[in-house]
Amino acid sequence: MKRTIILLMALTAALGTVTLPSAPRAGSATERVIRITAKKFEFAPGEVTVRKGEPVVLELTSEDRTHGFNLPDFGVRTEVKPGMVSRVHFTPDKAGKFNFACDVFCGSGHEDMSGTLVVTE
């Protein structure tokens, strides 16, 4: 009986030490933050390089009017409005070069408003 109690106490202590260190969730701390500015009719930077498997958060702002940011290969899409920061989170799971583009008509020149996401192995 006494042995059972000691065992239980040991187990409780062991479990306690297992659960404690994971308490504060790292969350966005491991994400790489990439800032992209949108304006007629370009994204800056126009080319962004990330690593496959590395979680990223894109922080998009607009310098003039509402634009769109569409990166279809990774299912990423958001609107970019002046005075606001639009955040999109994703983890690239394939390497290569992928196009992103504005998909909110913003004037003549809109068709050329695009950029490249380079994902390295």
**Which residues of this chain interact with Cu ion, rule CB under 5 A?**
102, 106, 110, 113
| Tokens read off for 7 | 């065992």
Could you please report the per-residue DSSP string of 44-107?
ESSEEEEETT--EEEEEEESSS-EEEEEGGGTEEEEE-BT--EEEEE---S-EEEEEE--S--S
Say which residues have a Cβ less than 8 Å from residue 31's Cβ, sequence separation at least 6: 55, 56, 57, 89
CB of 50 to Cu ion, least distance (A): 23
Minimum Å distance from CB 107 to Cu ion? 7
Q: Smallest distance, Å, CB 49 to Cu ion?
A: 23
Measured from the CB atom, the residue of 51 and 110 that comes closer to Cu ion is 110
User: Residue 72 Cβ, how far from Cu ion at the closest point, in Å?
Assistant: 15
